[in-house]
């Protein structure tokens, strides 16, 4: 199966910076054996699309409805011909915008209706992590169940395990911690869906120094990278050496 590397630029880069970011990626990235997905701010999606590069395009979030009175939101119907992927359920959306599992479930349905593959982010807080593996399991099970169970017409999906305590902290989860969680996720997925080979990615302080080690985790399909992907040279190196 192809590996997947997703860059989540979050709310970074002005027009000039994004332009030079793309120029560097265009000249530095040599390895397109894997699926490489760029998720810039929505204001750059059209530009990225019109460049017709070998990168796939993802949106950082989408609305749970297809159209209507939703100031500031972007719907899957609006980006369906531009984006192949959409991140949904990112912990920053869950925390800051109070997005809950029911809404995330609806976002997943909107993705599927519009031929967009959702990248569903799940992960526990430090408080839950400190309570031990049974609590972590309970939390991840409920995130998966409440967004996917009985979600009609189960289709393509990518799961990204992003422990909240590892995001932007420089403190990545260890290989053993990730392995343990991969088992939990696959146990639940096998109960929810007949779909085999659902890719599971890891995100949380993945960088140039640790990605080689994290790559050794069997069954891990790739990475969702935030901070380290802001530097196009670092991202290119990770992509080329993956």
User: Where does this chain bind ligand 13P (CB under 6 A)?
Assistant: 8, 90, 162, 167-168, 203-206, 224-228
Task: Please identify which of the residues 35, 99, 124, 162 carries the catalytic annotation.
Answer: 162
90 is annotated as an active-site residue: yes
Which one, 56 or 149, has the nearer CB to ligand 13P?
56
Distance CA 52, CA 160 (A): 26
Contacts of 137 (CB under 8 A, 6+ apart): 184
Which tokens belong to 42? 């929505």
Segment (H or E) for 117: strand 117-122
Q: Tell me the closest approach of the beta carbon of residue 190 to ligand 13P, in angstroms.
A: 25
Q: Tell me the closest approach of the beta carbon of residue 180 to ligand 13P, in angstroms.
A: 19
> Is residue 212 within 8 Å of residue 203, measured between CB atoms?
no
Which one, 64 or 93, has the nearer CB to ligand 13P?
93
Q: Tell me the closest approach of the beta carbon of residue 160 to ligand 13P, in angstroms.
A: 7
Segment (H or E) for 223: strand 222-225
162 is annotated as an active-site residue: yes
Residue 199, number of CB atoms within 10 A of its CB:
20
> Is residue 120 within 8 Å of residue 147, measured between CB atoms?
yes
Q: Tell me the closest approach of the beta carbon of residue 92 to ligand 13P, in angstroms.
A: 7
Contacts of 51 (CB under 8 A, 6+ apart): 22
Which one, 18 or 211, has the nearer CB to ligand 13P?
211
Task: Please identify which of the residues 90, 92, 99, 124 carries the catalytic annotation.
Answer: 90
Which one, 171 or 191, has the nearer CB to ligand 13P?
171
Residue 141, number of CB atoms within 10 A of its CB:
17
No. of helices (H) and no. of strands (E), the chain: 10, 8
Which one, 154 or 167, has the nearer CB to ligand 13P?
167
Q: Tell me the closest approach of the beta carbon of residue 105 to ligand 13P, in angstroms.
A: 20
Distance CA 58, CA 7 (A): 9
In 3D space, the residue among 179, 163, 183 whose CA is nearest the CA of residue 216 turns out to be 179
- Catalytic residue set: 90, 162
């Amino acid at each position: 199966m192809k590996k997947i590397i997703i860059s989540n630029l979050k709310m970074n880069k002005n027009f000039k910076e994004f332009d030079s970011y793309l120029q560097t990626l265009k000249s530095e990235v040599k390895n397109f054996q894997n699926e490489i997905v760029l998720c810039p701010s929505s204001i750059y999606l059209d530009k990225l699309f019109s460049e017709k590069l070998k990168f796939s395009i993802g949106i950082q979030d989408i609305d749970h409805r297809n159209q209507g009175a939703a100031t500031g939101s972007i719907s899957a119907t609006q980006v369906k011909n531009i984006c192949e992927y959409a991140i949904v359920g990112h912990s920053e959306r869950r925390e800051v915008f109070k997005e809950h599992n029911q809404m995330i479930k609806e976002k997943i349905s909107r993705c599927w209706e519009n031929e967009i593959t959702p990248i569903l982010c799940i992960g526990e807080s430090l408080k839950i992590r400190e309570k031990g593996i049974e609590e972590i399991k309970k939390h991840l099970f409920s995130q998966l169940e409440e967004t996917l169970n009985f979600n009609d017409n189960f289709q393509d999906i990518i799961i990204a395990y992003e422990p909240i305590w590892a995001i932007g902290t420089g403190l990545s989860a260890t290989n053993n911690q990730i392995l343990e969680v991969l088992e939990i996720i696959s146990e639940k997925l096998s109960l929810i869906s007949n779909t085999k080979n659902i890719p599971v990615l890891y995100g949380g302080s993945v960088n140039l120094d640790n990605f080689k080690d994290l790559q050794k985790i069997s069954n891990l399909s790739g990475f969702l990278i935030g901070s380290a992907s802001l530097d196009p040279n670092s991202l290119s190196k990770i992509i080329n050496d993956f």
